[in-house]
Structure 1
């Protein structure tokens, strides 16, 4: 079976990236196409795939650069803050919305409350070293957590707030991961193009007594984040 030309070019480019090192600027597309003896279209396709893979990062008006390795997040009930710090990254959050809404049928089922009951809706952009990597929206019952708005710092860890301030003990959770394309609003918040692949996580968690804690929708940039799970028989 013959290998597509752009894939062969992509493989050669990976070797070049390793030589250049993290943060280095990639030579112009025209220069690379001439050096590799291929068309600019073929070179452009190979570069686009490396951007989607997270190996390259395009900066508007500046060029294309060798990206830092992807952040690997564990699929587990752990703090986002702790997971990033363990990889040498500085975590951060930017508040988008913190409001009260009414539970629809899905939230009613996920949170164990009645349709129409009040729900906290917390939406924040997740940052790593000041750069947006995810958009997280969390839903929690107002009846169960009436003081959440008083004790939670919008830029702080919700996990830590729940455990340290509200005495919550996480027991188990369920998580679904899928690939999606961001909406124009989501792409704008994440400073990405709509063509960039995204990883969407849906999570529900319960405490040690089996009571629902939260329902979470997390959208991550596919070029910046990967996930790891430990599997046991």
Structure 2
């Protein structure tokens, strides 16, 4: 069994995203209640002995929203959404959470800063 948590994010009272997350109910039995009470996932993980965790994968793509997503985001169903899917793992590499955020595509902008080992990535030499 898993916990499925849905959250809706607002900016100035306007919906900008829907967040869906799934966590193992056996490993985190009270996660849904604690998230509803406002606790962060990081705090909950820490309470279950997970001092640190890592993002294993992040996938980003655009698509049309389904009817429920369009209604909750208060947008036209033909307006694209941006989807971010991520899998988090513990220090041993075991999956501990999966989430999917659905963003109103015309209301947000994303910037990805990439560092290699904490240092700026080196450019490839000219050949």
Band of TM-score, shorter chain: 0.7 to 0.9
Q: Give the match for residue 72 of structure 2.
A: 189
Q: Give the match for residue 43 of structure 2.
A: 161
Q: How far 1:163 sits from its partner (Å)?
A: 4.4
Q: How far 1:173 sits from its partner (Å)?
A: 2.5
Whether 1:198 and 2:81 are equivalent positions in the alignment is: yes
Whether 1:148 and 2:45 are equivalent positions in the alignment is: no
Moved over 6 A (4+): none
Alignment CA distance shift 1:155-1:221 (3 Å): farther
Q: How far 1:181 sits from its partner (Å)?
A: 0.5
Deviations 1:80-132, CA, capped at 9 Å, x for gaps: xxxxxxxxxxxxxxxxxxxxxxxxxxxxxxxxxxxxxx111111112223321
Deviations 1:42-70, CA, capped at 9 Å, x for gaps: xxxxxxxxxxxxxxxxxxxxxxxxxxxxx
Structure index of larger Rg: 1
Alignment CA distance shift 1:191-1:155 (3 Å): farther
Q: In 2, Cα distance between the equivalents of 1:178 and 1:149?
A: 27
Q: Give the match for residue 214 of structure 1.
A: 97
Q: TM-score, normalization: structure 2? A: 0.78
What stretches of structure 2 of length at least 5 have no aligned partner?
Answer: 115-120, 123-127
Q: Which moved more, 1:120-129 or 1:186-195?
A: 120-129
Q: How far 1:135 sits from its partner (Å)?
A: 0.8
RMSD of aligned C-alpha atoms? 2.0
Q: In 2, Cα distance between the equivalents of 1:221 and 1:133?
A: 5
Q: TM-score, normalization: structure 1? A: 0.45
Q: Do the aligned residues in 1 keep the contact of 2:16 with 2:104 (CA within 8 Å)? A: yes
Q: In 2, Cα distance between the equivalents of 1:177 and 1:198?
A: 11
Q: Do the aligned residues in 2 keep the contact of 1:172 with 1:208 (CA within 8 Å)? A: no
Q: Which has the higher contact order (CA 8 A, sep 6+)?
A: 2
Q: How far 1:149 sits from its partner (Å)?
A: 3.2
More helix by share: 1
Whether 1:228 and 2:115 are equivalent positions in the alignment is: no
